[in-house]
Structure 1
Amino acid sequence: MSRFLFVVPPLVGHINPTLGVGAELAARGHEVAWAGLPEVLEPMTGGRATVFPCAGLRLGAGGAVRPPDVRGPGALKFLWERFLVPLAEEMAPGTERAVARFRPDVVVADQQAVAGGLVAERMGVRWATSATTSAEFSGALDGMPKVDAWLTGLLGELRGRIGDPKGAADPRFSPRLVLAFTTEELAGRATGRGGDRIRFVGPSIAARPAEPDFPWDWLDPARRTVLVSLGTANAGAGDRFLAQCRAAGRLRADRLQMVMADPAAPPDPDPAADRDVLALPYVPQLPLLARAGAVVCHAGHNTVCEALWHGVPLVVAPVRDDQPVVAAQVVDAGAGVRVRFGRATAAQLGTALDTVLDHPGHRSAAERVGASFRAAGGAPAAATRLEHLAGTAAVSTETTEEAR
């Protein structure tokens, strides 16, 4: 049996896919551990997993709050300089200790926890990339050579501080295996770096150890359920947008109910007080998606893939980072429509909701993408890929074909 160490940032959407893969590996008799921020990891793993502590900035801490007027290349520069590089430097010592103590056969490094790849390379351990978003596969920097050169230089300087100065691998793309938790039906064919190592395994969807309580009898079977979520990284940024969603929902209360994941909502509202819109700080997303007619979200890769896994069409309102790329993928696949996060009105949101709820083509497209997710194999397929990597010096063409 082998040992696998997952190195993850303190971001829920980046941790969730590793939970299913880790559970699958453990069920096959392997030893599995995580390196990351314990206060984030331990509740998500149910307190039963081995977690090696790594310091790590939370998004929005330590000056990592991106000004709303910073967009395009400036936003990418901000993300790397103010969050991802400091995160890597904070995580590197803990990652090194975890590798030394756990002695993994394979390190599985999240694409945004580049300390994982750099430390593994320096310590001579095989490593794979866990890509929880496909934005890096789109070749977005191909038309921006100066930005690409700047980022290459930044990563080279980071390697000099925490990695092997003689190393050559891009820490975002393992030279042996890149696990993409999506499919080409959504992401399209990879055109950026790492194309020959990318394996599309589909989303890793697994039950979560501690889902929040929910008043299931509040749901009216005669009305369709719409789930609204802006993810855990956008708390405080979506007050205006959520208010417009609420207004759009009330105008359609005769035919839908709206469940809103709103961090500012009271923790214990009285569901009987409002039968049309229910706002909670946290919601059991996967069970709700099994009953949802549509989702309104920020185009976070995790939420998008979970919705499409359930065949649910989307209204996407990207906020930052990779979200515009993912939103474009949803629209191109025919599985939803896009609105402007900063300017969408209740009327525009209502029209978008009517479109995805009433036009069957969007649900058919969502179901088609969801079928491709299931065919790709998800967590079991990812686990098989990692097993092959643990047992071979390199993943040969024959081996990777067998793992499909």
Structure 2
Amino acid sequence: MARFAFIVPPLTGHINPTLSLGNELLKRNHKVSWISLDPNLKDLLPEKGQAIVLPIDMDEEGKNKIFDHARELQKKKVYGIDSLKFLYEEVLTPMNSLMMDGIENALEEIKPDVIISDHQIFSGAIVSFKKNIPYATSVTAPASIKVNPSFPKIHEWEGEQVVAFQNKYGISGNVRLDCSELLTLVYTSREFFGEADLPSHYKFIGPVIAPRSQRIGFDWSKLAKMVQNRPKILVSIGTTFDHTQKQQFFSKVVDALKDENITVIVVSDPDLFEFIPDNFIIQKQIPQLEVIQHMQAVICHGGNNTVCEALSYGIPLIVIPIAYDQSFVSSCVTDSSAGIRLNFNRFKASHLKEAVHSILTNNLYKNNAKMIQRSFEMAGGVNKGADYLQTLVKN
């Protein structure tokens, strides 16, 4: 039996994959702890998992600012290259500074054999390195490790931020520690990521999609009453857009699909719609994992979670990205020919209608989505991830 410790930021998309991976380690009779600033961490963990919520040694205003910025980042209210500067300057650097002492104290308490630190919590890597504890990296946002050949300076700038932080906390030199040279787990498949040149310690285990603990109702009876043999499409754009942008976006969706022989399920506030066509079902929240299995296509903003959920069931996509990582994920979709990309600022209802018809009638997209689905399955998921982590335990 070994002791494993996950170090995670207070962001749902970063915590969720570790819950499934940690649960698998618990099933193998290991001890597993999670270290985070998230005050709700205890409620998320699998049975027998240990939560260590770090104290926040700052005034209430500073504390609220950190969490507000993290939520703002998660909602993608900052777009393009500015989102990257915002990420490091307003969120990651202050958050990592805030967590440094707490991580060191927590590791002294639990004395783990192996640490798994999120790629954005590089303070976890620094403390692990100083204490000579084997550590792996958990990469929940694959865009962060992809070098865009069109913008190589972006990756270089990111590295400079990490190295500067390391230097500040006593790690000399220019070698980044945020992605472990022992093991870096990436939650996608190599085929979908599209990168062949990464070192062998980068292990692609496929998306780790944890079942939702929250029960959300859905009008399944209404869906059943609609024409059964017509295609069904999910439209899910998360919290990406502000109120006005959402209204404009959904207006185009309605114009494109209101008269089509298609059932359209939209995740949105119904109040944003001037009228709701008969072939539409609109709910603020849906049980997306359950609903998505019944769809023939998904329209989304290119968020990693929704894209991976769709492709895990072999469902092709229409992606309409805005923010930095959404653009990367959308490029993965189109590079693998598993979907169609539209430009958010320029697409019209007619473009969306044409894209929907192409997705539904051209088997190329469905076949390639199925190919990516198989690549996810072959990557091995939590079982393979747990196998890799166990190799780091010193005998």
Q: TM-score, with normalisation over the residues of structure 1? A: 0.83
Number of the residue aligned with 1:243: 251
Distance 1:137 1:378, change over 3 A: same
One-letter code aligned to 1:337: I
Number of the residue aligned with 1:165: 171
Alpha-carbon shift at residue 31 of structure 1 (Å)? 1.7
Distance 1:144 1:205, change over 3 A: closer
One-letter code aligned to 2:234: L
Tell me the secondary structure at the aligned position of residue 178 of structure 2. Answer: coil
Tell me the secondary structure at the aligned position of residue 382 of structure 1. Answer: helix
Match of 1:370 among 369, 373, 387: 373
Per mean C-alpha deviation after superposition, the further-off stretch among 235-244 and 8-17 is 235-244
Match of 2:348 among 334, 345, 348: 345
Number of the residue aligned with 1:322: 325
Number of the residue aligned with 1:399: none
One-letter code aligned to 1:201: I
User: Any residues of structure 2 matched to 1:262-273 within 5 Å, and which?
Assistant: 262=268, 264=269
Q: Work out the number of aligned pairs and report it.
A: 378
Match of 1:207 among 211, 227, 230: 211
The runs of 5 or more residues in structure 2 that have no matched partner are 57-62
Alpha-carbon shift at residue 61 of structure 1 (Å)? 5.4
User: Any residues of structure 2 matched to 1:14-33 within 5 Å, and which?
Assistant: 14-33=14-33
Distance 1:119 1:275, change over 3 A: farther
Using the alignment, how far apart are the partners of 1:201 and 1:95 within structure 2? 27
Give deviations 1:80-103, integer Å, cap 9, x for gaps: 222222232233333333323322
Using the alignment, how far apart are the partners of 2:337 and 2:4 within structure 1? 37
Alpha-carbon shift at residue 76 of structure 1 (Å)? 2.6
One-letter code aligned to 2:191: E
Residues 2 and 105, structure 1, Cα contact 8 Å, conserved in 2: yes
Number of the residue aligned with 1:309: 312
Using the alignment, how far apart are the partners of 1:141 and 1:58 within structure 2? 33
Number of the residue aligned with 1:111: 119
One-letter code aligned to 1:71: G
Distance 1:387 1:66, change over 3 A: closer
Alpha-carbon shift at residue 188 of structure 1 (Å)? 1.2
Residues 126 and 171, structure 2, Cα contact 8 Å, conserved in 1: no
Q: Is 1:2 equivalent to 2:11 in the alignment?
A: no
Number of the residue aligned with 1:401: none
Using the alignment, how far apart are the partners of 1:117 and 1:157 within structure 2? 14
Residues 169 and 175, structure 1, Cα contact 8 Å, conserved in 2: no
What's the Cα RMSD here? 3.0
Match of 2:159 among 152, 159, 174: 152
One-letter code aligned to 1:94: G
Number of the residue aligned with 2:12: 12
Match of 1:86 among 69, 90, 94: 94
Q: TM-score, with normalisation over the residues of structure 2? A: 0.85
Residues 115 and 135, structure 2, Cα contact 8 Å, conserved in 1: yes
Distance 1:307 1:13, change over 3 A: same
Alpha-carbon shift at residue 123 of structure 1 (Å)? 3.0
Match of 2:80 among 71, 75, 80: 71
Q: Is 1:177 equivalent to 2:183 in the alignment?
A: yes
